[in-house]
Amino acid sequence: MSKLILVGGGSSSGKTYVINEVIKIIGEENVVHFSIDDYYKDLSNMSLEERKKQNFDHPKAFDWKYMYEQLSTLKSGKAIDKPLYDYVNHNRSKEVEHVEPKKLIIVEGIMGLVNKKVRELGDLKVFINASRERRLLRRMERDTVERGRSKESIITQYFNSVQPMYEEIIGPSQYYADLIINNDGYDNKSIDVLGAVLKAFLNDEIH
């Protein structure tokens, strides 16, 4: 049976970076890694303009039932065909990704620790922390390059929904974390600590 590692934290707090660094420590042959963003609800019934107006930083934007079912299946040792999210079109892609279970399943996203039912599936809960200023700068760099968005739209979305939802919902979810990683651009040993903990999971030293 696989171990499920849930990773939460604010938008652009560096969740993917931290996990990619940890995977270098423990070996990618041992890990399945994907984003909770793939479980945004299917909004095909809306126009692109309507989809752009949705609050994607609210728990209601996610298909929690589907996520729970797929994570339960994967954790039990069975493969899934996971949905994929299209950030440009603000909608679930028509493509899916076949995922085979491995010893560790790492699932990360802003809502990683928010939903109680999904949280109870987790064998380890991690929160990635970074300052508001650092998260905004990283988000602007990422979304202009990777998601083709204008700086104006990024700033508007950040102050209208991203930061308010962080303060109301995402930030408080860190109290459910077993481990908090500070990732504000400073050299620290937190990634090494997380790597050591996950190595212990791989060696069945933690049950």
What is the distance between the alpha carbons of residues 11 and 80, in angstroms, rounded to a whole number?
A: 26
- Cα–Cα distance for residue pair 160/153, rounded to 1 Å: 10
Regions in the chain scoring below 50 on pLDDT? none
Q: Hey, is 38 helix, strand or coil?
A: helix
Q: Which two tokens stand for residue 73?
A: 């299946």
Each domain of the chain, given as residue ranges in start order, spans 3-202
Token look-up 């996971």 returns 82
Which pTM value belongs to this model? 0.86
Paired tokens of 165: 């939802």
What pLDDT score was predicted for residue 148?
66
- Please report, for residues 21, 161, 192, 196, the alpha-carbon distance to residue 189 in angstroms, rounded to integers and kept in the order given: 12, 32, 5, 11
Q: Name the DSSP class of 78.
A: -
> What's the pLDDT at 179?
92
Question: Cα separation of 159 and 22, whole Å?
Answer: 31
CATH of domain 3-202: 3.40.50.300
Report the alpha-carbon distance of residue 112 to residue 7 in Å, rounded.
5
Question: Tell me: the pLDDT tens digits for 109-119?
Answer: 999 999 999 99
Could you tell me the two tokens for 151? 């700086």
Residue-level pLDDT at 10: 81
